[in-house]
């Protein structure tokens, strides 16, 4: 596994970012996944481009890295898929600044309502289990549980449903990609088809999957490639949603060569498992 740098605050830091350009949006005869830092990712599959939770600017916490994808380098995007309302996943500024290059946006529940009613984004509101397609890719919303807001007086202006949060399952010509999203570990998540790639959150936080839950998920799908996300990019050494360390997975994940420590902006080619 790639060597992990630990900074003076004791936080594991992602590798130096790889600067992306519009060329990364051009058609190629394969499917690639890019981690964009935090919980964001991009899929580029045979000319179809999908952005998941892009936060390319305007985040209100200090970052440990430079953003790998400048807004002015975003090419044509077939779909933006948003998992939930939290501002490390839903960036109004980013979406407004790339909207002219985006064909459609997909989101569940409350965040879809906000996107439509407050921002007038071209969003399709979907329910858990709904399907949609974008170019060469077909997709489905998967369940998530991340409604931590119900325990906060700041957010008591509404009741937060589990259906306000989601993950996404993508079927591409070269294999399946699963983004579970920010979520506690759910029984349903342990009974999915075998994915070829998991965008792998391992944050040891009660409203995320927890480290033990992440290891359970990884070993439930022993053929899936694991692209580590939601770690090493936000300066928050004392906040468990942001300060995971991939070294904590060492010796606990079946076939550890499946663990991919990508730099933000670095691509992994998707291939169907044997």
3-state SS string over 161-214?
Answer: CHHHCEEEEEEECCEEEEECCCCCCCHHHHCCCCCCEEEEECCCCCCCCCHHHH
- Report, as an integer, the average pLDDT of 33-56: 99
Res 27 pLDDT > 90: yes
Tens-place pLDDT, residues 140-176 = 999 999 998 999 999 999 999 999 999 999 999 999 9
Type and span of the H or E element at 259: strand 259-260
Give the pLDDT score at 274. 78
- Going by C-beta distance under 8 Å and a sequence separation of 6 or more, which residues neighbour residue 67? 17, 36, 37, 56, 57, 264
The number of residues making up the chain comes to 274
- Report the predicted TM-score, pTM, of the whole model to 2 decimal places: 0.97
Spatial distance between the Cα atoms of 151 and 178, rounded to a whole number of angstroms:
28
Residue 102 DSSP one-character state = B
CB 83 within 8 A of CB 163: no
The pLDDT value given to residue 62: 97
Band (1; pLDDT cuts 50, 70, 90): confident
What top-level class would CATH report for the domain 8-269? alpha beta
d(CA 77, CA 41): 13
Distances (CA, A) of 67 to 32, 100, 153, 234, 238: 19, 20, 33, 11, 22
Q: pLDDT digit string (tens) for 220-265?
A: 999 999 999 999 999 999 999 999 999 999 999 999 999 999 999 9
Alpha-carbon torsion (204, 260, 12, 166), positive or negative: negative
Q: Does pLDDT of 28 surpass 90? A: yes
- Write out pLDDT tens, residues 66-120: 999 999 999 999 999 999 999 999 999 999 999 999 999 999 999 999 999 999 9
Radius of gyration of the chain (CA): 17
Give the whole-angstrom CA distance, residue 109 versus residue 83.
Answer: 10
Rounded to a whole number of angstroms, the distance between the first and last alpha carbons of the chain is: 22
**pLDDT band of 196, cuts 50, 70, 90:** very high
């Amino acid at each position: 596994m790639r060597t992990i740098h630990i900074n003076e605050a004791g936080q594991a830091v992602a590798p130096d970012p790889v600067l992306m350009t519009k060329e990364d949006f051009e058609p190629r005869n394969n499917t690639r996944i890019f981690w964009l830092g935090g919980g964001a990712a991009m899929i580029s599959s045979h000319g179809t481009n999908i952005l998941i939770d892009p936060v390319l600017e305007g985040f209100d916490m200090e970052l440990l890295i430079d953003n790998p994808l400048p807004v002015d380098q975003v090419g044509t995007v077939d779909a933006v898929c948003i998992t939930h309302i939290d501002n490390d996943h839903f960036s109004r500024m980013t979406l407004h600044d790339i909207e002219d290059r985006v064909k459609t946006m997909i989101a569940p529940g409350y965040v879809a309502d906000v996107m439509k009613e407050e921002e007038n984004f071209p969003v399709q509101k979907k329910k858990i289990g709904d399907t949609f397609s974008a170019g060469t890719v077909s997709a489905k919303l998967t369940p998530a549980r991340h409604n931590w807001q119900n325990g906060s007086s700041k957010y008591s202006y509404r009741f937060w449903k589990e259906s306000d949060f989601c993950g996404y399952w993508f079927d591409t010509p070269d294999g399946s990609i699963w983004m579970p999203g920010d979520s506690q570990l759910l029984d349903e998540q342990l009974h999915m088809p075998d994915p070829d790639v998991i965008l792998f959150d391992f944050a040891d936080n009660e409203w995320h999957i927890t480290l033990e839950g992440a290891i359970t998920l990884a070993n439930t799908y022993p053929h899936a490639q694991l692209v580590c996300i939601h770690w090493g990019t936000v300066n928050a050494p004392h906040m468990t949603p942001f300060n995971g360390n991939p070294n904590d997975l060492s010796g606990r994940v079946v076939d550890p060569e499946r663990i991919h420590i990508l730099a933000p902006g670095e691509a992994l080619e998707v291939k169907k498992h044997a």
